[in-house]
């Protein structure tokens, strides 16, 4: 721990030195850290040890993840220096963001594949694969300016409904049939190809290589006689108003939650979700040892990956929603016009080896038919559905849901 920070350091000092950790804190119930004024006031009064104790998060596991992100970011910086002179004449260009917990093993696997198999292809490749914590604004900026497919990279990898379906972004090229699913799967993993869910794009344009599931983390000490919520419907009930921590900082997952709640429960559902959001607390209230129970979230909604940070014997209990974990798909888009040269790279990123890195290292279930996702077959997933995606302007719908949600939060 001493290499980068100490458990008694304030979370302000830590995030000031390592801003790449902000998403991790936000995803684990410290959404206020995304607000600069709150970070400066609250963050200076709370040590890392105190913050994790309040949330009853396993400090060793959390610190390991912090170190991974810091070292991953350092590697990203080093790589950005190497890639600063990008080969714009390369045969194949790849852009994307990879989920933070699996970026390093995926990049290592890609480097090994390039050494062992890539060289024999005699294909020059230029790639920029950043950590998901870096966001996708750099891709969005390029897409907004792009008028023709010729300026597009050959492969895109990322989660994110708005990036891939907004008609001002990738959506304008989807409608022109620019992309083609080259994974070659007849069927997806049975987790995602069964009687209640089918992730495979019927138009065979977009590929999905994995998903980020959203589950519940319950603080049993804060239920106060309430039944444990088992479904999204339970979360929207009046008894859980102002007691839920939502992954607002994780735009891809939060957008997926908004869209799925809207599809299933309409505007009323989004309003209830807004009412469920726990009110922000004053920093002085956060550090009081005699905090009222209503001031701690009873439910934290987070990516399944983070549930492995639960400390044994703690009151925190992970619950997989009975009506399905809402998923944010990890998309793989490949440009059809350069299919011959692109296909080997698509085959790598959709391979069993990559699927196992996603599923086993990151707990991001893979769609590869031969991967064991190590998740009970009783657990279901909630998916927006291709029919719904294709019959709605997803970009506009996200903005509509955000407005309804924000209004509900403000009007409480």
Q: Tens of pLDDT along 141-177? A: 888 888 888 889 999 999 888 889 888 888 889 888 8
Mean pLDDT of 274-295: 51
Query: β-strand 316-319 against 207-219: which pairing, if any?
Result: antiparallel
CATH class of 1-83: mainly alpha
CATH 3.40.190.10 positions along the chain are 84-211+329-377
The torsion of the CA quartet 265, 266, 269, 270, rounded to 10 degrees, works out to 140
Instruction: Give the model confidence (pLDDT) of 42-96 as tens digits.
Output: 788 788 988 888 788 888 888 888 888 887 776 555 444 333 335 667 899 999 9
CATH 1.10.3910.10 positions along the chain are 1-83
Which residue did the predictor score with more confidence, 84 or 129?
129
User: Is residue 396 pLDDT above 80, yes or no?
Assistant: yes
Mean pLDDT of 120-143: 84
Res 20: pLDDT: 84
* pTM score of the predicted model: 0.79
Specify whether the CB–CB gap between 334 and 179 falls below 8 A.
Answer: yes
Instruction: Give the model confidence (pLDDT) of 330-372 as tens digits.
Output: 999 999 999 999 999 999 999 999 999 999 988 999 999 999 9
Query: β-strand 381-382 against 299-303: which pairing, if any?
Result: unpaired
Which residue did the predictor score with more confidence, 121 or 382?
382
Residue 46: other Cβ atoms inside 10 A: 19
**Which residues, other chains included, contact 180 with Cβ-Cβ below 8 Å and sequence gap of 6+?**
204, 205, 334, 335, 336, 339
CATH architecture of 84-211+329-377: 3-Layer(aba) Sandwich (3.40)
Mean pLDDT of 295-306: 86
User: Is residue 9 pLDDT above 80, yes or no?
Assistant: yes
| Sign, CA torsion 24/25/28/33 | negative
Distance CA 30, CA 48 (A): 12
User: Is residue 327 pLDDT above 70, yes or no?
Assistant: yes
Per-residue pLDDT band for 199 (boundaries 50, 70, 90) equals very high
User: What 8-state DSSP symbol labels residue 234?
Assistant: H
Specify whether the CB–CB gap between 208 and 199 falls below 8 A.
Answer: yes
Among 9-13, 84-88, 280-284, 294-298, the minimum mean pLDDT is found in 280-284
């Amino acid at each position: 721990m001493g290499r980068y920070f100490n458990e008694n350091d304030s979370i302000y000092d830590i995030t000031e030195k390592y801003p790449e950790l902000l998403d991790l804190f936000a995803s684990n119930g410290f959404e206020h850290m995304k607000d600069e004024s709150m970070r400066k006031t609250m963050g200076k009064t709370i040590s890392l040890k105190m913050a994790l104790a309040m949330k009853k998060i396993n400090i060793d596991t959390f610190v390991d993840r912090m170190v991974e992100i810091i070292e991953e970011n350092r590697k990203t910086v080093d790589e950005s220096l190497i890639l600063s002179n990008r080969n714009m004449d390369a045969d194949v260009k790849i852009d994307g963001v990879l989920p933070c917990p699996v970026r390093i093993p995926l990049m290592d696997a890609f480097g090994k594949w390039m050494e062992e198999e890539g060289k024999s292809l005699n294909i020059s490749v230029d790639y920029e694969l950043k950590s998901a914590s870096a966001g996708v604004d750099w891709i969005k900026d390029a897409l907004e300016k792009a008028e023709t497919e010729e300026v597009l990279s050959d492969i895109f990898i990322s989660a994110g409904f708005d990036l891939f379906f907004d008609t001002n972004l990738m959506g304008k090229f989807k409608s022109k049939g620019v992309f083609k699913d080259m994974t070659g799967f007849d069927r997806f993993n049975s987790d995602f190809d069964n009687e209640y869910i089918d992730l495979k794009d019927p138009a065979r344009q977009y590929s999905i290589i994995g998903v980020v599931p959203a589950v519940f983390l319950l603080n049993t000490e804060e239920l106060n006689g309430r039944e444990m919520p088992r479904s999204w419907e339970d979360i929207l009930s009046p008894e859980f108003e102002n007691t839920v921590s939502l992954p607002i900082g994780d735009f891809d997952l939060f957008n997926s939650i908004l869209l799925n709640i809207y599809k299933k429960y309409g505007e009323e559902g989004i309003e209830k979700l807004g009412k469920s959001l726990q009110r922000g607390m004053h920093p002085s209230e956060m550090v009081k040892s005699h905090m009222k129970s209503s001031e701690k979230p009873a439910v934290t909604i987070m990516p399944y990956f983070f549930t492995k940070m639960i400390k044994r014997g703690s009151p925190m209990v992970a619950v997989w929603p009975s009506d399905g974990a809402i998923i944010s798909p990890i998309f793989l888009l490949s440009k059809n016009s350069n299919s011959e040269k692109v296909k080997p790279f698509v085959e790598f990123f959709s391979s069993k080896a990559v699927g196992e890195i996603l599923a086993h290292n990151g707990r991001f279930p893979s769609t590869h038919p031969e991967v064991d996702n190590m998740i009970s077959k009783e657990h279901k997933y909630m998916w927006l559905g291709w029919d719904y995606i294709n019959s709605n302007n997803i970009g506009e719908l996200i903005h509509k849901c955000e407005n309804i949600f924000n209004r509900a939060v403000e009007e409480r």
